[in-house]
Amino acid sequence: MEHKHTYDAQGKQTCCTQQEKIYTNAGAKELLKGGHNKNDEHKHDAHSDDDGHNHGSTDKTTFQMFLPAIISFILLMVAITFDNWLPQTWFTGWVRIIWYAVAYLPVGLPVVKEAFESIGKGEIFSEFLLMSIATIGAFAIGEYPEGVAVMLFYAVGEVFQTLAVTRAKANIKTLLDQRPDEVTILENNQPKTVKAETVAIGNIIQLKPGEKLGLDGELLSDSASFNTAALTGESKPDTKAKGETVLAGMINLNTVAQVKVNTAYTDSKLSKILELVQNATAQKAPTELFIRKFAKIYTPIVVLLAVLITVVPYFFVDNYVFSQWLYRALVFLVISCPCALVISIPLGYFGGIGAASKNGILFKGSNFLDVIASIQNVVMDKTGTMTEGVFKVQEVILKPEFNKDEILKMVNALESQSTHPVATAIHQFVGEIDSSIKLDNTEEIAGHGLKAIVNGKELLVGNFKLMDKFNISYDLDPTSIVYTLIAIAYDGKFAGYITIADSIKEDAQIAIDKLKALGVKTTMLSGDKSTVVKFVADKLGITNAFGDLLPEDKVNKVKEIKTENETVAFVGDGVNDAPVVALSDVGIAMGGLGSDATIETADVVIQDDKPSKIPMAINIGKQTKKIVWQNITLAFAVKAIVLVLGAGGLATMWEAVFADVGVALLAILNAVRIQRMKF
């Protein structure tokens, strides 16, 4: 039976009976391969605690996961006690063998089964096969305690790996739980609880304080405050006015609110974000791909070496004892198991993606974590990226021979054909559009402005490049005015201009300062006039700034930067600047909540529109890469040392266990560390 989720004002879940299942060992591995575990298809049957450990009757609890290892450990310790400290006359021969075999089965049987299944899938040289050969071989030469111990520690390591993956998924699980299963809609002014996915566009949702919105819509109430933490990573209240867009995942804080649904459940911004984050692990970083290819070559080689260690000494050693050299070969196999690399490296990248999503930054793949870590130059747009993108009209300067009211009405009507922030500013300044004004042959000229025929005469509204394009003469120097200028021409004559100003975002300075601290160059490219761009760049301390650029000019500028062998990230709206985003090494979109196309276009999406998240994204990439290489170095160094000792007969199964399971656990603990870092 499914239940509705409720939340307090801080966004903490107060009741939930639907959570993702904990990942089994096989599920964890499947996740790290970037695939979907069959048990992970939104089967939510049991309670979970904050760490993602399930406590329901239908799923394995943490205790149940450790139970086979606990049974094996108890039987092993009793056997070792009988062998060494409390010798028993009956604990010999077949009784002793059977006892150790029973101790082996709880932890060994699943691994042997996995080995056969892997062989059936064509993956012959898997870690399961290595562990099976090594431990069964230990039994064959009478080293029963070591055979059980190796498999026991391996099984414990597998459980810890599973728990580590589950913990790394905690942020995404939280996101997955942001969509309530049920919502309250109004039918004939009567509240009715229905499944969220059945709600149709046009339905009205009634949202009580503390409840979470299930679908995107338009606010019908006069105003309402929302906690947007699920979408932006920050719980700062966001007050919306009537008519504004509110999104699935937002929590209503104060009063009862009504929302008119305008987007289907599966098409909501949150649904798209969730899909993006869930699919992020499918895009592998080069290091991940290398380790996977390396493991496929490395494992058969160590199996061959183990065979050679057993056989070759027969021809060169006088007192050759088969069991001794087989033991060395088995130790060699255990040491060579590539668990630490195969598990901890993808987990490190997954941890980076999780840490980023927790902070409102969405990476489309771990490959972009790698690239962004080495960014040398951040190229940014101005409007909507470093500035608010909310323009306000400052002055209207028109020639005396033109009627100000008539010109402004025509300009307002023409600008209504555009979605540019400048058009919004003019509309807010002038007011309602005069329906009596008829526009003919309306045309948008990219990078210049708009053109139309009004009352049989040509109306031009745009920048001064538009005036030059149509040979309209004007008697002022546009570069002498700092503000953004909107030039107007009517009937082939220059009519005047409107000055518009935008404000710099409050954390833009923090972003530039942090980028400089990271040693990253900054460049601003904008279609806005050069004086405005230079003014903003100088105020923020941006290294290079270029204005009056058409889309193709931006592309050429980025190409110039890339010829200097610099790794480039472009930050913009991800839609208008699509060519530059495609050309850059990493495309970063600001304001991902406002545009579906933004989410589709960019490699990285900053959800809350804050420039300070740009250096944060770079820092997360750097820390992730650092942790991954720490794990690679640790695994190779320890394994290389113990492999040499093992081949020389100086390392036992116990050292082999540390080299395999111990190093894997250390690497995993290091990988999940990124989840707790402050950026």
Is 83 among the catalytic positions? no
Length of the chain equals 679
Cα 561 from Cα 365, distance rounded (Å) = 25
Q: Which of 177, 216, 370, 381 is catalytic?
A: 381
Question: By the 8 A CB rule, do 580 and 390 touch?
Answer: no
Phi, psi of 227 (to 5 degrees): -90, 120
* The one-letter amino acid at 115: A
Q: How many alpha carbons fall within 13 Å on the CB side of residue 583?
A: 21
Helix (H) or strand (E) holding 62: helix 62-84
Buried b (16+ CB within 10 A) or exposed e, 256-278: ebbbebebebeebbbbbbbebbe
361 token code pair = 């930054």
For 276-306, give the secondary structure using H, E and C: HHHHHHHCCCHHHHHHHHHHHHHHHHHHHHH
Strands (E), 202-329: 204-207, 217-219, 223-227, 237-241, 245-246, 251-252, 257-261
Crossing angle (nearest 10°) for helices 25-32 and 339-358: 70
Which residue's entry shows tokens 């088995």?
A: 330
Which residue's entry shows tokens 């021809």?
A: 315
Cα 543 from Cα 561, distance rounded (Å) = 13
580 token code pair = 């530059």
DSSP class of 576: T
CA dihedral 114, 116, 121, 123 (to 10 degrees): 80
Question: By the 8 A CB rule, do 231 and 269 touch?
Answer: yes
Q: With CA atoms as reference, report the closest residue to 173 among 36, 65, 21, 30.
A: 21
| Residues 6+ away with beta carbon under 8 Å from 179 | 196, 212, 214, 248, 249, 265, 268, 270, 271, 274
Question: By the 8 A CB rule, do 86 and 55 touch?
Answer: no
Cα 23 from Cα 166, distance rounded (Å) = 7
Helix (H) or strand (E) holding 256: none
- According to DSSP, the β-strands at 377-380 and 568-572 are parallel
Cα 5 from Cα 13, distance rounded (Å) = 7
419 token code pair = 């979605």
* The one-letter amino acid at 655: E
256 token code pair = 């009862």
| DSSP per-residue codes, 611-643 | TTHHHHHHHHHHHHHHHHHHHHHHHHHHHHHHH
| DSSP per-residue codes, 450-508 | EEEEETTEEEEEE-HHHHHHTT---SS-GGG--SEEEEEEETTEEEEEEEEE--B-TTH
183 token code pair = 């919502």
Helix (H) or strand (E) holding 170: helix 170-176
End-to-end CA distance of the chain: 40
Active-site residues, by number, are 381
